[in-house]
Structure 1
Amino acid sequence: MRDNHDEVHDVVLKVATISSGHLLLNEAHFYEDELLGLQGDAVPRCFGFFQGDLGLIKISCLILEDCGSVMEGSLYDVDIATKLKLVEKLDKIHTAGVIHQDLAARHIVMKDNEPYWIDFGEAARHSCRKRMEVTPGDFSPDLHEFGCTEIYEFVERLDLWKSIYVHYQNNVFFLDLVESPEYLYHSLHPAQIETEEQQDQAWREAEETYRFIAEDRKLWIARYGQTQGCQ
């Protein structure tokens, strides 16, 4: 397809009938308004929205730039550079006044190592209250301090933050409280460690869990002190 500047673009046609046409119309409105300045950056370029009749069926069609294939696999397994780009572009979308409301790998396409957010049929207008930058490897902040639920939950899914919680035997503890594997082991109810086999298994898991979180706990204590578990 040629645009107004005589440039040729590969395009994708999104077609819907009356049953889902309202979602396509909603998406088109965002492309033509709030997302206009992000086209070709955070989202694909949009070349128009059209409606017509095919016999007795009303057809809606949204024409978008082809920005590659749908992301494969889990968001958790994406490389760190792509994760940061996804967060940056999602932040731009929020700043433009849009909340996506369905953040999944199937709503991301990749072209030349660049991700683009797509599928805004369920999107809504949004006044983003995000107040903090996302720093990979830092401890997860409090949601209320961070300010935006959608971005916060997405960053957690990407595993960009260190957790302040420790999970052991279906129990959850604040990181700073777990001072030893004994702390974890002695948290168990007697019914969980009635047999010698249960005791051995629980102790091995306590040791493994503590080894996994020990360095993060030291970092937390050095940075914040033992305050979280006392709140």
Structure 2
Amino acid sequence: MSSDLTIKFSAIPQGEGEPGREEFSLHLTRVDKQVRLEGRLQIYNTVGVTASATREYYRGTLAQRSPNDPETDVFIKLAYAQNLDDAAGLRTEANFYNKQLKALQGDVVPVCYGIYEGEHDDGDPIVCLVLEYMGEPAEDGLGSLDMDVRLEVLRSVVQVHLAGVMHNDINDDNVLFSSTPDSKPRIIDFEHAEKHKCRRKLEIVEGAPVPERLLFGCPELWDLAANMGIWRSQYVCFYGEYVDEDTIDSPQVLIDAVRSMTFLPQEDIERRANKAYEMVQVFKENGGYRPRDFNPDDWVF
């Protein structure tokens, strides 16, 4: 049988509550004609990453297509086509890579080496998406990254929006980093994406006050910036009570917020209220912006 892609898959060991998979080979036909690759592709050295009842994920090596081509690490997503949602998700993702995101491939998103269809040895129809391997998620989540890196993540997602795509599933697992020194964040997993005309009205400025979500204009970018702590909180945590800093025009506002806590030493309350008020005044004089070395823990009194 002629094919555009041949893959020899390694076995996936059975995990607790998850099915395993024995070693097998696939001979698949390319169905997205936007991908211009000469000749047939071969993938070897596959390593099973994980499997579910309807999905399997592998890493592998894309063989040289000509003497001048390097070998390439790839990530392979398999869906059993009888599960219509899974198969449709891979087709949706490939369509975005090959159209709206084509100019961003290899930079902001992975290179797409095509989507393929065929049958497993047992006759089950299979859909297979082959992507450039781009690294791993941040070990402790996006919020743990240095501010410069978080801003780079945000810029990458902004580029996706400018290309006309709403991701709809930005989370820690869908932003990858390689181990190279010049590693930049790459955005993956566009199965739930949709066409998008970004209506963001405001610039995203580190340390600025949190803008109103509606006035900002783009819910996805607002949520991402807020979740990564790009903007400052406008609340002072005073003995567990959250007080809007815009209302703090004197230390007495903070003292009044904890008036019912009669078990607290009055002297300590007044001392902390004065310190918090002084900090609020410093930030207000700076237009509400936080300095780069600001520690949010210092905002808890």
Q: Do they fold alike, i.e. is TM over 0.5?
A: yes
Aligned residue among 67, 78, 87 for 1:15: 78
Deviation at 1:37, TM superposition (A): 1.0
Counterparts of 1:1-231 in structure 2, within 5 Å, are 1=62, 2=64, 6-8=68-70, 9-18=72-81, 19=83, 20-54=86-120, 55-111=122-178, 112=180, 113-168=183-238, 171-188=241-258, 190=260, 193-194=261-262, 196-197=263-264, 206=273, 210=277, 213-220=280-287
Shift of 1:89: 0.9
Larger Rg: 2
Look up the equivalent residue of 1:7 and give its one-letter code. D
The code of the aligned residue for 1:182 comes to Q
Change (3 A) 1:120 1:212: farther
CA deviation digits over 1:5-59, x for unaligned, max 9?
9532211111122332222121111111111111011101000001212123221
Deviation at 1:75, TM superposition (A): 1.3
If asked which structure has higher relative contact order (CA below 8 Å, sep 6+), I would say 1
C-alpha deviation, 1:168, in angstroms: 4.1
Greater share of residues in helix = 1
CA contact (8 A) 1:137 1:162 kept: yes
Tell me how far 1:204 sits from its aligned partner: 7.3
**1:70 Cα deviation after fit:** 2.3
CA distance in 2, matches of 1:221, 1:83: 21
Question: So what's the TM-score if we normalise by structure 1?
Answer: 0.81
Q: Which amino acid in structure 2 is aligned with residue 216 of structure 1?
A: F
Where is the strand percentage greater, Structure 1 or Structure 2?
A: 2
Work out whether residues 131 and 147 of structure 1, in 8 Å CA contact, stay in contact via their aligned partners in 2: yes
Q: After the TM superposition, which segments of 4 or more aligned residues of structure 1 sit over 6 Å from their partners? A: 198-205
Measured at CA, do residues 168 and 102 of structure 1 come closer, stay the same or move farther in structure 2, by a change above 3 Å? farther
Q: Is the 8 A contact 1:185 1:202 kept in 2?
A: yes
Q: Could you give the per-residue CA deviations for residues 102-133 of structure 1, whole angstroms, max 9, x where no partner exists?
A: 11111111122211001111111111101222
User: 8 Å contact 1:102–1:122 — kept in the other structure?
Assistant: yes
The secondary structure found in structure 2 opposite 1:186 is helix
Pair 144,32 (structure 1): closer, same or farther in 2 beyond 3 Å: same
**Structure 2 CA distance, aligned partners of 1:83 and 1:179?**
33
Residue identity over aligned pairs, in percent, reads: 28
Instruction: Pick which of 98-107 and 168-177 moved more.
Output: 168-177
TM-score scaled by length of structure 2: 0.64
Contact kept, 8 Å, 1:175 with 1:217, in 2: the verdict is no
Structure 1: where are the runs of 5+ without partners? 223-231
Q: CA deviation at 1:71?
A: 2.1
Q: CA RMSD in A?
A: 2.8
Quick one: distance in 1 between partners of 2:265 and 2:119? 68
Output the amino acid matched with 1:106.
D
Q: SS in structure 2 opposite 1:103?
A: coil
Q: Are residues 221 and 6 of structure 1, via their aligned partners in 2, closer, same or farther at CA, if it must alter by over 3 Å? A: closer
Q: Kindly tell me the number of residue pairs found equivalent between the two proteins.
A: 219
What is the letter of the counterpart of residue 58 of structure 1? P
